[in-house]
Structure 1
């Protein structure tokens, strides 16, 4: 992000699925970017200190074997997120969903953003190439200015068709290239966002 680029005073931070269930390595595999948690916490702190709105998104999985299903311990937010909820002076929203995009959750994210006149938001959270990317793509399609805090996200490796396997870092780079190169979002660092929001 260029130094002259300012973050709107009402730009929302959308913190996606930072839930305890993602700590279950036996289910997901090995994650990348261990610094993500500190960067997510830093973004929440900066947004709350500036009075900007924060949206906390929780994935209520419908899959019976998922650690993220409702009613299970893994459904809850990780401790550093939960302890920050309700601490800001700005608006705060808790949104739940059972699909990838936060725009298909409850309450309606688009309606909440539009009612508040918000045209700009930042995406952080889990997983980089799943719910975070999908929310950023949809936000870009809907006409919002989206910033994607790549270093405030993490993911896990995947096996795809034809036996293709991509590691977590490869998937994160693919997300960054697709979002930024495709014009869906501006991929930036959490430090740039925190500095711009100050």
Structure 2
């Protein structure tokens, strides 16, 4: 994997307490139980090296969503808690680029490389990565710092969280992003 520029930005998507809502696990457990630990390791490295960090927060407008700003579950998970000087963008749709100033913020800082972690692999992560790729960003998706849940496919067959995750990664690999892991990313900035 090619090295990361000094201003490669760590983009953490929707890692909020809402992801613990039992509704997400209706069809089975999630994959990558170590994802939060990996996000914390990435954050520690980015902070140590004083690299840019952006936290994306989902601000749902859906009446029953655990991601609504008026719910306690709207808070960031402890492993992904932003520091006061770190950038936070709130979004109300899947892509972190829609209805936010994210693209302007990145371009004003001449940032071209994004290292992406967060949730849900096949939802906001995939949508944001596709959008970033289409905008011309060099995206590195950290597959073991993201996770998803089991889901029924269009034919009604239950797919495990790992299957859903792997298919999403396959959709993104090459055209939209370079798929990588925490160890490889940390090695590029050590």
- Does TM, normalized by the shorter one, top 0.5? yes
Q: Name the SS of the counterpart of 1:176 in structure 2.
A: helix
Which of residues 145, 168, 181 is equivalent to 1:189? 181
Q: Name the SS of the counterpart of 1:104 in structure 2.
A: coil
Q: Name the SS of the counterpart of 1:171 in structure 2.
A: helix
Q: Name the SS of the counterpart of 2:43 in structure 1.
A: helix
Give CA-to-partner distance per residue, 1:105-133, whole Å, 9 cap, x none. Answer: 43x11100000000111110011111111
CA drift of 1:165 comes to 2.6
Structure 1: where are the runs of 5+ without partners?
Answer: none
CA contact (8 A) 2:117 2:143 kept: yes
Give CA-to-partner distance per residue, 1:36-77, whole Å, 9 cap, x none. Answer: 011000111111111110000100111111111111011110
Tell me the residue number matched to 1:10.
Answer: 7
Q: Name the SS of the counterpart of 2:55 in structure 1.
A: strand
Tell me the residue number matched to 2:106.
Answer: 113
The separation in 2 between residues aligned to 1:187 and 1:174, in whole angstroms, is: 12
Which of residues 73, 76, 89 is equivalent to 1:95? 89
CA contact (8 A) 2:91 2:99 kept: yes
Tell me the residue number matched to 1:179.
Answer: 172
Structure 2: where are the runs of 5+ without partners?
Answer: none
The separation in 2 between residues aligned to 1:34 and 1:163, in whole angstroms, is: 25
**Normalised TM-score (structure 2):** 0.94
Give CA-to-partner distance per residue, 1:144-170, whole Å, 9 cap, x none. Answer: 100000000011112242323322100
How many equivalent pairs are there?
Answer: 187
Tell me the residue number matched to 1:62.
Answer: 61
Residue 132 (str. 1) matches residue 94 (str. 2): no
CA contact (8 A) 1:95 1:105 kept: no
The separation in 1 between residues aligned to 2:168 and 2:177, in whole angstroms, is: 10
The separation in 1 between residues aligned to 2:147 and 2:155, in whole angstroms, is: 25
The separation in 2 between residues aligned to 1:50 and 1:145, in whole angstroms, is: 20
Give CA-to-partner distance per residue, 1:18-45, whole Å, 9 cap, x none. Answer: 0001112x21102111010110001111
CA contact (8 A) 2:36 2:80 kept: no
CA drift of 1:134 comes to 0.9
Counterparts of 1:134-173 in structure 2, within 5 Å, are 134-173=127-166
Aligned Cα RMSD in Å? 1.3
Tell me the residue number matched to 2:83.
Answer: 85
